[in-house]
């Protein structure tokens, strides 16, 4: 994705059990990945991790400690929704 969308900010967090990837700078009108979908699939469909190499895979991105992300809450400000836009839940009985 970094090759095709260098404008995105990607944080890879080594969280258990599988990790977590945070992507910011998204633009819902950007069609770059959709337009290049077939090209991207063709490039990667036959790649096996064992052949590619785990070291090469892990070297392709930097990891960010989760605690460091929490220390910088401004990263999450754009994802916060205005609580005024939510209504109280309604309880429905059958």
pLDDT tens per residue, range 16-41: 888 888 888 888 899 999 999 999 99
Separation of alpha carbons 75 and 66, rounded Å: 12
Confidence of residue 1 (pLDDT cuts 50, 70, 90): low
Query: Which pTM does this prediction carry?
Result: 0.61
pLDDT at 39: 95
Confidence of residue 91 (pLDDT cuts 50, 70, 90): confident
Please list, residue by residue across 22-35, b when 16 or more beta carbons sit within 10 angstroms of its beta carbon and e when fewer do: eeeeeeeeeeeeee
């Amino acid at each position: 994705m970094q090759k095709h969308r260098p404008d995105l900010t990607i944080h890879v967090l080594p969280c258990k059990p599988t990790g977590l990837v945070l992507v910011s700078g998204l633009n819902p009108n950007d069609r770059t990945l959709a337009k290049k979908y077939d090209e991207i699939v063709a490039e990667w469909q036959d790649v096996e991790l064992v052949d590619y190499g785990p070291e090469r895979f892990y070297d392709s991105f930097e990891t960010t400690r989760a605690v460091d992300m929490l220390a910088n809450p401004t990263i999450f400000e754009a994802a916060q929704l205005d609580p005024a836009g939510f209504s109280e839940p309604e309880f429905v009985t059958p």
